[in-house]
Structure formats: structure tokens, C-alpha cells
Amino acid sequence: MRTKFISTLTELAERDDRIFLLVGDLGYSVVEIFQKKFPDRFFNVGVAEQNMMGVAAGLALSGKIVFTYSFANFTTFRCLEQIRNDICYHNLNVKIIGIGSGFTYGPSGMSHHGTEDLAIMSVLPNMTIISPCDPVEMDLAIKACVKWDGPCYIRVRKAGEPTLHKNSPDFRIGKGIIVQDGEDITLIATGWILNNVIKAARLLEAHNIQSRIISMHTIKPLDEALILDSAQKTRGVMTIEDQNIAGLGSAVGRVLISSRKCAVPFTAIGLTDQYSYDVGSEEYHLIKSKLTPESICTAAINTLNTQ
């Protein structure tokens, strides 16, 4: 998805000279295409993410559309104050790209896990949060963000994600996408983990359980209407995310709680209130966190059995 990000951004920058790209001394072999074409609109600020946000804010105040690029943990946790005070408070056109979401960099340990970013960014006023599931959504998300007025956080895994959308979907910020319809349970996922959810739905079919699958690419603003519609049309709702359930899970849970018409079983699948002290591959962490297709399938069956 990061390759699609840079190719789409370069394409847009050819038509809009307001687009700038700032990186935190990384992205090598990815960002060079933009750097070579637009050397005056590309800045490597070094390992100084907090300063990067300040520079981005200054450029945005002068009318630019600024994209910043760094690891998800560094571009959110490390410079939260600058994002809050410099960018969100002034509602600036800064689009923050967080690479390496979830356990992408699992072998690097907890310091490199992007497992709380959605939850943390969600509480910032004026911040729009997007988590595309595949290169198709990534392309559409970048195009939408350029037109969107205000700060955006775009959460990305890294590379090698399969294309999940056979056709270009109707992508709109704040509107989820129904990938597959079904009458038994609604599976709401955000980001690349949708791939595991689709596989889990195939496993559920062996149990005669038909799943409605939703790509909730926008966490904020959230598509509350689609959530409530799904709760009325299926017998249970689940959220799946490769980060703390205080992100998508809490957001969907609040919508369901606020509605007296949608009393259905609800389960949030993701990380709970604890750190991972283990060092291991992304696959290892997904197994441990019960985010494999098999674990998602089991959780869905258990959700329906609570009725």
C-alpha cells in the first residue's frame, strides 16, 4: 500500500503544486519517485518527527497540502502534542501517513508496534482517520484526502497486501463499504486485517453462517447509519482490528449502545488493555492476539451463541 500511496501522490502532485511531502529520514526505495520529480516540494526533516509536524503546520498555514510520512508509532505517539496544538487546533491541511500499523514491525519489539494509534488519534478534534484495506482503497483514500479540508491520519500496514476489491468501490470518507452481504452476522473490519476477515467468512460458510462484511475504512467520522442498519439486519455484530479495541471496537460499541433498537450481541476483536512483551513476527503476534481467520471464525460463532 505504501507504493500505491507514493504513486498516487506523485500523480496528484503533477496537477496540484500545493502538494508537499515530508519524511522522517525513512521511506528509501519508496519516496524517491516523488523526490526526483518535485525536489522543491520534498523535505527529509531527519529523525525529528516533532519538528516535522511543526514544519508541516507552517507550510499548511501558507496554503499548502502537506503529507507527512513515518512509522505509525513515531508519527503519532512521539509528536502528539504538535499534532494536537499545531495541526488539529488550527484545522490545517496536514495529512499524516502512518506506516507499519499493528504488528508489521513485530520483530522490533513494543516500541515499534503501531497498536494504539487509532484510539489516540480518535480523540483529537478535527482529525479525520482513514485505514484502507488494500491498494485500491489506498489510492482512493489519498485522492479523497487531498480534497478533504482539514487534518487526516491515514494508517497503512507496509507492503505486499493483496487486492481485496475486484472493482473500484464507491469510496467516500465517512462511509463504510459492504464487501459482502449476509444475514447472520456482521463483521466490521478496518485496514488490511479485512483479508483475514474475508477468509474467516469462508470458514463460517461451512457452519451455514452467512456474513455481512464491511470495510470500515473511515474510523472518524464513523458510518453510524451502516452500523445500525447492519445490527437490524443481522443477528450479531463483530469488529476486528489489529490494534487496541479502544479504536474501532469502542467507536462501534458506542453507536450500538446509543440505539435502543439494536439490541444484538456485540464482540470487539483486537488487542486488549496490555502491551505485548514478546518479540516475534507479525504472524506470531496475530496468532497470539487471536486475529487469525480461524480465531475470528470461532469468535463469530461464540457471538451468535450468546443470543
Please tell me the predicted confidence (pLDDT) of residue 261.
Answer: 72
Structure confidence at residue 158 as a pLDDT band (50, 70, 90): confident
Q: Which three cell numbers stand for residue 113?
A: 508496534
Burial class (CB in 10 A: 0-12, 13-18, 19+), 296: buried
pTM, to two decimals: 0.95
What distance in Å separates the CA atoms of residue 82 and residue 66, rounded to the nearest whole number?
A: 15
- pLDDT tens, position by position, 195-206: 999 999 999 999
Give the span between the Cα atoms of 183 and 295, in whole angstroms.
Answer: 21
Residue ranges and CATH numbers for the domains of the chain are: 2-156 (3.40.50.970), 177-304 (3.40.50.920)
Reported as half-sphere exposure (CB side, CA atoms, 13 A), residue 241 has a value of 33
Average pLDDT, the chain: 95
CA distance 182 to 149: 35
* Cα 83 to chain centroid, rounded: 17
pLDDT, tens digit, 9 for 90 and up, residues 256-281: 999 877 789 999 999 988 888 889 99
Asked if residues 1 and 136 have their Cβ atoms less than 8 Å apart, the reply is no
Question: DSSP letter at 264?
Answer: -
> What pLDDT shows up at residue 307?
63
Residue 52 or residue 262, greater confidence: 52
Per-residue pLDDT at 62: 98
Closest by alpha carbon to 133, among 66, 178, 90? 178
Catalytic member of 11, 14, 32, 49? 49
Give per-residue pLDDT as tens, 115-131: 999 999 999 999 999 99
Q: Mean pLDDT across the stretch 64-69? A: 98
49 noted as active-site residue: yes
For the beta carbon of residue 35, count every other beta carbon within 10 angstroms: 17
Instruction: Please give the average per-residue pLDDT across 98-107, as a whole number.
Output: 91
